[in-house]
Structure 1
């Protein structure tokens, strides 16, 4: 969605063209081969539509039982949608795939239920310019990274650290999108939050429910529906993240990404010379 994430999906960031060859293995095959090679060890993370995973499960119905856990970003339960009044984009793009995936995890024990990061929780995880400033500081990037709502649209970062620069340019676009849609000068970290739960599920609390997807509703197609009280008479098949500590999440994100940026692109250090301390590149 170019209006939300820019023409390349990464806001204003312009990454160097990769010289690596494209894989000749499609995503469906990759799911099956990787999970089969390490049964019970792999945590799957889906931050887009569930099409490829649904196709993989059609070919290999045992896949849900071979995964260690599945974490997905998608859906909206007691929250308004962002694609239709009741549906979230990842689910709305391919509701049939989402319905198949949820159904495939029925019958598994609670600790194996897919973790669902819906808009209900991801829209509480609000990145601000201050978080980006702190990340740049952790990376040792110069000058100080400053983003303001009063900046001209499309201003680019001048950060010395390439990771910080690309991160800042990507998120700036998203900040502007939220501001232009009257949501404040902030950016909801939907996908990074799901990735954080894949690394450490304990940073959120959960409520188990039976989840299904509306496929035929004239007004509600693509809506995720949670049966919290067992009214359908079906066993729960999802662990819905309901609460987290956003600032604890941001502390981890800043530390992890900032440390990575500092390690890959160390800041220039001082060098002792005949005339005293001087900076070297």
Structure 2
């Protein structure tokens, strides 16, 4: 495979960690930097969690940058019910790297600098709220033109939410940022929505085989994933088996698409928008399948993928 240069923007919870480890294990991938954003937990926890992942994978030389601490407007959301208060399952780690490992440069400035250094060569993988990206395009309107591709985990395509009635978590965390990005980025854009990840879930049999590998990486993943696994099982008991039909590592789908050109097998190509207001629909992504929005740029909204490729990449991540 051709060498792939990635810039990864995260709000590092459990599935962010899984996605990062997937990319770190791919021999044809070079991560130029990891930028951190509020979301699943506080920015400080996000930064610390990224460093924990890098330490586990012996890759602490990759630069990590702290970014936005809150959304552009409105109140901050968090996902401690699923990811734990610290974002990684509240699994204690006395050997966690301290924040002195962080680079002092702000994440948004680092983003702009990196894509300026490698114009047209960097794929940006955004698997948290899009606040850092919105700030980057506001600071430098030419920023999207210098990106090779943008891969997003976020939004929805069937009005199904997971944190509000119609809102997926990453977009609901900062609807204004999502609105700015989907309106202002005209580079090739690939979106892994909430419904897409759920409809392409992996079996729980695979999940237990995956985390049962006899490696330090698998031991790390067992510890940090236990809280979210228990939460999913409790939801299944309370709300029915539809809550636990399979294992879904949401952010890993966007990452797999970024590093393997053949992972996605079907898409919807259309203009997309985000509802920044609305009593019930704030943060909802809208697909313009009728071509009614006055936009030339179309996004590739993923609908089907090769789950066997995802299984392979995940297994390699913990070897």
TM-score (norm 1): 0.77
Q: Please give the per-residue CA displacement for 1:1-55, whole angstroms capped at 9, x wherever unaligned.
A: 1111012111254342204432211110111011100011111011100001110
8 A contact 1:43–1:70 mirrored in 2: yes
Task: Determine the structure 2 residue equivalent to 1:171.
Answer: 225
Counterpart pick for 1:8 among 62, 79, 86: 86
Distance (Å, rounded) in 1 between the aligned partners of 2:161 and 2:211 = 33
SS in 1 for 2:302: strand
8 A contact 1:76–1:224 mirrored in 2: yes
Distance (Å, rounded) in 2 between the aligned partners of 1:63 and 1:208 = 23
Q: Please give the per-residue CA displacement for 1:118-173, whole angstroms capped at 9, x wherever unaligned.
A: 01211134344432443356x5x1xxxxxxxxxxxxxxxxxxx3211111122222
Structure 1 residue 186 displacement after superposition: 4.3
Counterpart pick for 1:134 among 202, 209, 212: 209
Counterpart pick for 2:279 among 218, 233, 240: 218
Pairing 1:124–2:199 present: yes
Pairing 1:247–2:308 present: yes
Runs of 4 or more, structure 1, over 4 Å off, are none
Distance (Å, rounded) in 2 between the aligned partners of 1:9 and 1:25 = 23
Pairing 1:232–2:310 present: no
8 A contact 2:122–2:147 mirrored in 1: yes
8 A contact 1:43–1:68 mirrored in 2: yes
Q: Please give the per-residue CA displacement for 1:171-191, whole angstroms capped at 9, x wherever unaligned.
A: 222221112122127431101
Task: Determine the structure 2 residue equivalent to 1:189.
Answer: 249
SS in 1 for 2:101: coil
Q: Please give the per-residue CA displacement for 1:237-256, whole angstroms capped at 9, x wherever unaligned.
A: 311011113233112211x2
Pairing 1:44–2:119 present: no
Distance (Å, rounded) in 1 between the aligned partners of 2:201 and 2:219 = 20
Distance (Å, rounded) in 2 between the aligned partners of 1:250 and 1:48 = 22
Q: CA RMSD of the aligned region, Å?
A: 1.9
SS in 1 for 2:268: strand
Distance (Å, rounded) in 2 between the aligned partners of 1:180 and 1:79 = 24
Pairing 1:257–2:317 present: yes
TM-score (norm 2): 0.68
Consecutive unaligned residues in structure 2, runs of 5 or more: 1-78, 237-242
Task: Determine the structure 1 residue equivalent to 2:96.
Answer: 17
Aligned length, in residue pairs: 232
Task: Determine the structure 1 residue equivalent to 2:142.
Answer: 62
SS in 1 for 2:272: strand
Task: Determine the structure 1 residue equivalent to 2:108.
Answer: 28
8 A contact 2:159–2:167 mirrored in 1: no
8 A contact 1:125–1:189 mirrored in 2: no
Distance (Å, rounded) in 2 between the aligned partners of 1:4 and 1:71 = 23
Structure ID, larger Rg: 1
8 A contact 1:54–1:101 mirrored in 2: yes
8 A contact 1:118–1:241 mirrored in 2: yes
